Amino acid sequence: MKTETRSDLPVFERIPRHVAVIMDGNGRWAKSRKLPRLEGHKRGAKAVEETVKAAAECQVEFLTLYAFSVENWTRPSSEIKGLMSLLVQTLKQYEKVLNKNNIRLQAIGRLMDLPETVHRQLQKTITSTAHNTGLTLILALSYSGRVELVEAARTLAEKVRQGDLKTSQINEKAISDHLYTGGLPDPDLLIRTSGEMRLSNFLLWQISYTELYLTQVLWPDFGREEFFNALRSYNQRQRRFGTV
């Protein structure tokens, strides 16, 4: 995962500060090749590597990947076990690489739901890369946009109950500050692969004015050039944020 600038790097007038990605299509990729679903997830991990590399090359500041949703816990236990094992393996494999390339790792979601082995390795990699100042890679794990909003509402309500906050002080900024993404800029660009046209409970508050890029490409086939295509599309947009 080398992030040195290559001579074939396109020139973009505008680089989104924060890119979010709904990585979809691993299962369909595997099924179309008569392979086990886990093979699709393994190939999807390679697409993650390519995407992180491309984002770092373009000097994107934040890249949030929708890696595992709260709803994904309902999948067959064998698939979940394989996914968790793959996650630990990937975190171990790329810890040194992230540090070498000045990439910082963070995670959002109900991280307490993760198996202990996953949680331990995740925290180890986060701590190991915390000093880096380049791209911030954010993994959304056991994540749900609705759960995130509910937990923020509960926290704000408790502060009001304890007298630490007035109801009149609850505004958009207060809500944003109490989300998992508190302190992070909202995504400028959301990429969704596999041709699906839905948000799948991802960053529901944060993407109010985010530009959407939908592609038919299945996630395991997504790579550097596909990422650049998304940035090309982004550069053709005029972001008005509700104004004329």
* Helix, strand, or coil (residue 171): coil
Chain mean position to CA 241 = 23
Q: For residue 208, is it within any domain?
A: yes
Tell me the C-alpha distance between 208 and 128, whole Å.
33
The CATH number for 35's domain is 3.40.1180.10
The pLDDT value given to residue 244: 57
Give the residue numbers annotated as catalytic, written as ranges.
Answer: 24, 72
Per-range mean pLDDT, top range of 7-11, 69-73, 237-241: 69-73
Q: For residue 79, is it within any domain?
A: yes
Q: For residue 91, is it within any domain?
A: yes
Mean of pLDDT over the chain: 94
Banded model confidence at residue 3, pLDDT cuts 50, 70, 90: very low
Tell me the C-alpha distance between 229 and 189, whole Å.
12
pTM over 0.85: yes
Q: For residue 25, is it within any domain?
A: yes
On the CB side of 120, CA atoms within 13 Å amount to 5
Strand order in the sheet with 189-192: 104-108, 136-143, 62-69, 18-22, 189-192, 211-214
Q: Beta-strand (E) ranges in 109-167?
A: 136-143
User: For the chain, how many structural domains are there in total?
Assistant: 1
Q: For residue 166, is it within any domain?
A: no
In a 10 Å sphere around its CB, with 0-12 CB exposed, 13-18 middle and 19+ buried, how is residue 167 labelled? exposed
Q: What share of the chain is helix, strand, coil (3-state, %, to 5)?
A: 45, 15, 40
Q: For residue 24, is it within any domain?
A: yes
Tokens standing for 85?
A: 């094992």
Question: Mean of the pLDDT values across residues 73-85?
Answer: 96
Question: Mean of the pLDDT values across residues 158-182?
Answer: 98
At residue 35, φ and ψ (nearest 5 deg) are -115, 160
Domain that holds residue 201: 18-144+186-235
The pLDDT value given to residue 2: 45
Q: For residue 36, is it within any domain?
A: yes
Element (H, E) at 52: helix 37-57
**How far, CA to CA in Å, does 22 sit from each of 63, 173, 194, 213?**
11, 25, 9, 10
Q: For residue 60, is it within any domain?
A: yes
